[in-house]
Amino acid sequence: MGEQEKQLDLLQGTLDLLILKAVSLGPLHGYGVLLRIQQISGQALVIQQGSLYPALYRLEHQGAIASDWGESENNRKAKFYRLTTAGRMRLEEETEKWNRMAGIMGAILLAQV
């Protein structure tokens, strides 16, 4: 478990935001989303691979992302997810909320009692 020690478990409810962020940079297939999140976070986050797909389906069902079938890098059929307009708005909203929350939490935890 040595390797996993420096990784953090994902906070509840943040996977959706990470997926939105990942696909906001360009269409990706499921595995691509996983790779990109790991890449951006510098391998610091553990993502339960299985929980990725239900989350993708949920976001698609909610209309935040849309999908198309296309060719993957190794010339196989793959499903590519992209951000919709509604998804973009949600990403902005959630990012703003996240930043505020982080700021508030930081301020509280820094406070000298």
Question: Which residue shows structure tokens 């406070």?
Answer: 111
Subset of residues 27 to 86 that bind other proteins, contact rule: CB under 8 A: 29-31, 34, 48-51, 53-55, 57-58, 61, 72, 74, 76-79
CB of 96 to other proteins, least distance (A): 25
Helix (H) or strand (E) holding 77: strand 77-83
14 counts as binding other proteins under rule CB under 8 A? no
CA distances from 87 to 6, 31, 47, 72 (A): 31, 20, 21, 23
Nearer to other proteins, 49 or 99 (CB): 49
**How many residues at the interface with other proteins, by CB under 8 A?**
20
Six-digit token pair at 13?
């409810």
CB of 59 to other proteins, least distance (A): 8
Q: Is 66 exposed, middle or buried, given 0-12, 13-18 or 19+ CB atoms closer than 10 A?
A: middle
Nearer to other proteins, 43 or 72 (CB): 72
Nearer to other proteins, 4 or 112 (CB): 4
Q: How far apart are CA 11 and CA 57, in angstroms?
A: 20
Binding residues vs other proteins (CB under 8 A): 29-31, 34, 48-51, 53-55, 57-58, 61, 72, 74, 76-79
